[in-house]
Amino acid sequence: MIVPLDEGVRELVGDGDTVALEGFTHLIPVAAGHEIIRQGRRDLTLVRMTPDIVYDQMIGAGCAAKLVFSWGGNPGVGSLHRFRDAIQYGWPRPLEIEEHSHAGMANRYVAGASGLPFAVLRGYAGTDLVDQTDTIKTIECPFTGEKLAAVPALNPDVSIVHAQRADREGNVQLWGITGIQKEAVLAAKRSLVTVEEIVDELDPVPGQVVLPARVVSAVAAVPGGSRPSYAHGYYARDNGAYQDWDAVSRDREEFSRWLAEGLGAQAPLPGKAG
Amino acid sequence: MIVPLDEGVRELVGDGDTVALEGFTHLIPVAAGHEIIRQGRRDLTLVRMTPDIVYDQMIGAGCAAKLVFSWGGNPGVGSLHRFRDAIQYGWPRPLEIEEHSHAGMANRYVAGASGLPFAVLRGYAGTDLVDQTDTIKTIECPFTGEKLAAVPALNPDVSIVHAQRADREGNVQLWGITGIQKEAVLAAKRSLVTVEEIVDELDPVPGQVVLPARVVSAVAAVPGGSRPSYAHGYYARDNGAYQDWDAVSRDREEFSRWLAEGLGAQAPLPGKAG
Amino acid sequence: MTTATGYTADEMMTVAAAHALTSEMACFVGIGLPSTAANLACRTHAPGLWMIYESGTLGTRPDTLPLSIGDGVLAETADTVVSVPEVFNYWLQPGRIDVGFLGAAQIDRYANINTTVIGDYTDPKVRLPGAGGAPEIAASCREVVVVVRQSARTFVDRADFVTSVGHGRGAGERERLGLRGAGPTRVITDLGVLKPDPATRELTLVQLHAGVTVDDVRAATGWELAVSPELASTPEPTAEELSVLRSLTGRD
Amino acid sequence: MTTATGYTADEMMTVAAAHALTSEMACFVGIGLPSTAANLACRTHAPGLWMIYESGTLGTRPDTLPLSIGDGVLAETADTVVSVPEVFNYWLQPGRIDVGFLGAAQIDRYANINTTVIGDYTDPKVRLPGAGGAPEIAASCREVVVVVRQSARTFVDRADFVTSVGHGRGAGERERLGLRGAGPTRVITDLGVLKPDPATRELTLVQLHAGVTVDDVRAATGWELAVSPELASTPEPTAEELSVLRSLTGRD
pLDDT, residue A33, reads: 98
Which of C31, C55, C135 faces B179 most closely, judged by CB atoms?
Answer: C55
B215 close to D (CB below 8 A): yes
Q: Percent of chain B, pLDDT > 90?
A: 94
- Per-residue pLDDT for B273 more than 80? no
Show Cβ contacts of residue B145 under 8 Å, excluding neighbours closer than 6 positions: none
Q: Can you tell me the mean pLDDT for A223-231?
A: 97
Give the whole-angstrom CA distance, residue D50 versus residue D55.
Answer: 15
- Per-residue pLDDT for A199 more than 70? yes
Residues C203 and C119 in one domain: yes
Contact D80 B215 (CB under 8 A): no
* Structural domain that includes position D227: 103-234
Residues of C annotated catalytic, as ranges: 54
- Asked if C113 and C141 count as a contact pair (C-beta separation under 8 A), the reply is no
Instruction: List the one residue out of B267, B141, B194 whose CA is nearest residue B13.
Output: B194
Contact D79 B171 (CB under 8 A): yes
Structural domain count, chain C? 2
Residues C139 and C224 in one domain: yes
| Coil, helix or strand at residue D145 | strand
Give the whole-angstrom CA distance, residue D48 versus residue B212.
Answer: 13
Taking contacts as CB-CB distances below 8 angstroms, the residues of chain D near B171 are: 79
Show Cβ contacts of residue A215 under 8 Å, excluding neighbours closer than 6 positions: A185, A186, A191, C96
Model confidence at B262, in pLDDT bands (50, 70, 90)?
Answer: confident
Q: Is residue B270 domain-resident?
A: no
pLDDT, residue B266, reads: 78
| Residue C79, CA distances (Å) to B237, C45, D169, D229 in order | 22, 21, 53, 66
pLDDT, residue C146, reads: 97
| Coil, helix or strand at residue C213 | coil
* Contacts A–C by Cβ distance under 8 A: 28
Give the whole-angstrom CA distance, residue D38 versus residue D56.
Answer: 17
- Please say whether the dihedral angle defined by the alpha carbons of residues D154, D157, D163 and D168, taken in this order, is positive or negative: positive
Q: Is residue B113 domain-resident?
A: no
Residues D119 and D79 in one domain: no
C-alpha neighbours within 13 Å on the C-beta side of residue C122: 3
Residues C125 and C77 in one domain: no
Contact A214 C96 (CB under 8 A): yes
Give the whole-angstrom CA distance, residue C205 versus residue B178.
Answer: 42
- CATH number of the domain residue A184 falls in: 3.40.1080.10
Chains A and C touch, using 3 or more CB pairs below 8 Å: yes
Structural domain count, chain B? 1
Show Cβ contacts of residue A227 under 8 Å, excluding neighbours closer than 6 positions: A30, A31, A235, A238, A241
* Contacts A–D by Cβ distance under 8 A: 165
Beta pairing class for A158-167 and A172-174: antiparallel
Residues D163 and D245 in one domain: no
Taking contacts as CB-CB distances below 8 angstroms, the residues of chain B near C139 are: 122-123, 125
Chains C and D touch, using 3 or more CB pairs below 8 Å: no
Report chain A's mean pLDDT, rounded to a whole number: 95
- CATH number of the domain residue D246 falls in: 3.40.1080.10
pLDDT tens column, D192-211:
999 999 999 999 999 999 99
pLDDT, residue A153, reads: 98
* H/E segment holding residue D125: strand D124-127
The interface pTM score, or ipTM, of the predicted complex is 0.96
Report chain B's mean pLDDT, rounded to a whole number: 95
pLDDT, residue B272, reads: 45
pLDDT, residue B265, reads: 84
pLDDT, residue C2, reads: 47
pLDDT, residue C252, reads: 55
| Coil, helix or strand at residue C79 | coil
Q: Can you tell me the mean pLDDT for B189-212?
A: 96
| Residue D201, CA distances (Å) to A33, C163, C207, D169, D198 in order | 47, 54, 77, 8, 6
D251: buried, middle or exposed (CB in 10 Å: 19+, 13-18, 0-12)? exposed
- Per-residue pLDDT for D30 more than 80? yes
Q: Can you tell me the mean pLDDT for A247-268?
A: 91
Segments of chain C scoring below 70 in pLDDT: 1-5, 251-252
Contact B122 C56 (CB under 8 A): no
> Which chain C residue has the Cα nearest residue B124?
C135
- Smallest CA–CA separation between A7 and chain D, in Å? 30
B117 close to D (CB below 8 A): no
- Smallest CA–CA separation between C28 and chain A, in Å? 14
Residues C79 and C142 in one domain: no
- Asked if B229 and B27 count as a contact pair (C-beta separation under 8 A), the reply is yes
Residues D146 and D240 in one domain: no
- B201, B214, B215, B216: best to mutate for the D interface, most D CBs within 10 A: B214
Q: Is residue A150 domain-resident?
A: no
pLDDT, residue A269, reads: 58
Residues D171 and D70 in one domain: no
> Which chain A residue has the Cα nearest residue C85?
A114
The pair phi, psi for residue D106, each rounded to 5°, is -135, 145
Instruction: List the one residue out of D108, D113, D145, D148 whose CA is nearest residue D128.
Output: D113
pLDDT, residue D4, reads: 41
pLDDT tens column, B87-127:
999 999 999 999 999 999 999 999 999 999 999 999 999 99
Give the whole-angstrom CA distance, residue B218 versus residue B222.
Answer: 13
Residues C83 and C109 in one domain: no
Concatenated DSSP letters of A153-197: PP--SEEEEEEEEEETT--EEE-SS-TTHHHHHHHSSEEEEEEEE
Taking contacts as CB-CB distances below 8 angstroms, the residues of chain C near B182 are: 83
Q: Can you tell me the mean pLDDT for D74-95?
A: 95
Contact A122 B116 (CB under 8 A): yes
C-alpha neighbours within 13 Å on the C-beta side of residue A189: 10
Give the whole-angstrom CA distance, residue A210 versus residue C82.
Answer: 9
Model confidence at B31, in pLDDT bands (50, 70, 90)?
Answer: very high
* Structural domain that includes position B77: 5-100+155-262
C68/D58: higher pLDDT: D58
Give the whole-angstrom CA distance, residue B166 versus residue B99.
Answer: 33
Model confidence at A273, in pLDDT bands (50, 70, 90)?
Answer: very low
Residues D16 and D51 in one domain: yes
Model confidence at D252, in pLDDT bands (50, 70, 90)?
Answer: low
Residues D10 and D92 in one domain: yes
Q: Percent of chain B, pLDDT > 70?
A: 97
- Smallest CA–CA separation between A133 and chain B, in Å? 13
Instruction: List the one residue out of B29, A71, A47 whose CA is nearest residue D115.
Output: A71
Taking contacts as CB-CB distances below 8 angstroms, the residues of chain B near C164 are: 127
> Chains near C, with 3+ CB pairs < 8 A?
A, B
Residues C70 and C112 in one domain: no
Contact D128 A207 (CB under 8 A): no
Model confidence at D32, in pLDDT bands (50, 70, 90)?
Answer: confident
Give the whole-angstrom CA distance, residue B178 versus residue D61.
Answer: 26
- Asked if A30 and A196 count as a contact pair (C-beta separation under 8 A), the reply is no
- C31, C76, C84: best to mutate for the B interface, most B CBs within 10 A: C84
Q: Can you tell me the mean pLDDT for B137-158?
A: 98
> Chains near D, with 3+ CB pairs < 8 A?
A, B
Contact C90 A113 (CB under 8 A): yes
Question: Strands, DSSP E only, in chain A?
Answer: 18-21, 44-48, 64-69, 96-99, 118-121, 137-140, 147-152, 158-167, 172-174, 190-199, 209-211, 218-221
Position A205: which residue type? V
Contact A143 B118 (CB under 8 A): yes
Give the whole-angstrom CA distance, residue A17 versus residue A44.
Answer: 5
pLDDT, residue C68, reads: 79
pLDDT, residue C3, reads: 47
- Residues belonging to chain D with any Cβ–Cβ distance to chain B shorter than 8 Å: 26, 50, 58-59, 79-80, 89-90, 93-96, 140
B180 close to D (CB below 8 A): no
- Asked if C233 and C225 count as a contact pair (C-beta separation under 8 A), the reply is no
CA D99 to chain centre: 9
Q: What is the DSSP letter of A259?
A: I
- Per-residue pLDDT for D3 more than 50? no
Dihedral (Cα; B217, B220, B225, B231), 10-degree rounding: 70
